[in-house]
Amino acid sequence: AIQLTQSPSSLSASVGDRVTITCRASQGISSALAWYQQKPGKAPKLLIYDASSLESGVPSRFSGSGSGTDFTLTISSLQPEDFATYYCQQFNSYPHRLTFGGGTKVEIK
């Protein structure tokens, strides 16, 4: 199964900071990657699909990049509502063995 490794596992940042989260796949997955945001006690919310496409309604401060094995989620200017945990997910092996990364918790500095 394709494994996804996110880094860092947690980070502290201030409002207005630029934040970058990386996701590395154990083998090439083309652009078959999505990013989700999860707040405590809530279901994940889709942010980015196909590695770099912004889901409708998601603020433009969120962006995704990468292909193959290395991917990045960037928040250009962190807002108070962005403090959450972020997960990457690959669907290259769809419909088999869909996998998620271990998550990155973004906390307030």
Residue numbers at the binding site for another protein (CB under 8 A): 1, 32, 34, 36, 42-46, 49, 55, 87, 89, 91, 94-103
Nearer to another protein, 16 or 55 (CB): 55
Six token digits for residue 17: 């900071």
Nearer to another protein, 18 or 59 (CB): 59
Minimum CB separation of residue 37 from another protein in Å reads: 12
Give the distance from CA 105 to its chain's centroid.
11
Minimum CB separation of residue 63 from another protein in Å reads: 16
Would you say how long the chain is, in residues? 109
Secondary structure of residue 59 in the 3-state scheme? coil
Minimum CB separation of residue 73 from another protein in Å reads: 14
Six token digits for residue 58: 């998601």
Nearer to another protein, 71 or 87 (CB): 87
Minimum CB separation of residue 23 from another protein in Å reads: 12
Half-sphere CA count of 89, side-chain side, radius 13 A: 19
Q: What separation in angstroms does the CA of 50 have from each of 26, 27, 90? A: 17, 16, 9
Nearer to another protein, 17 or 103 (CB): 103
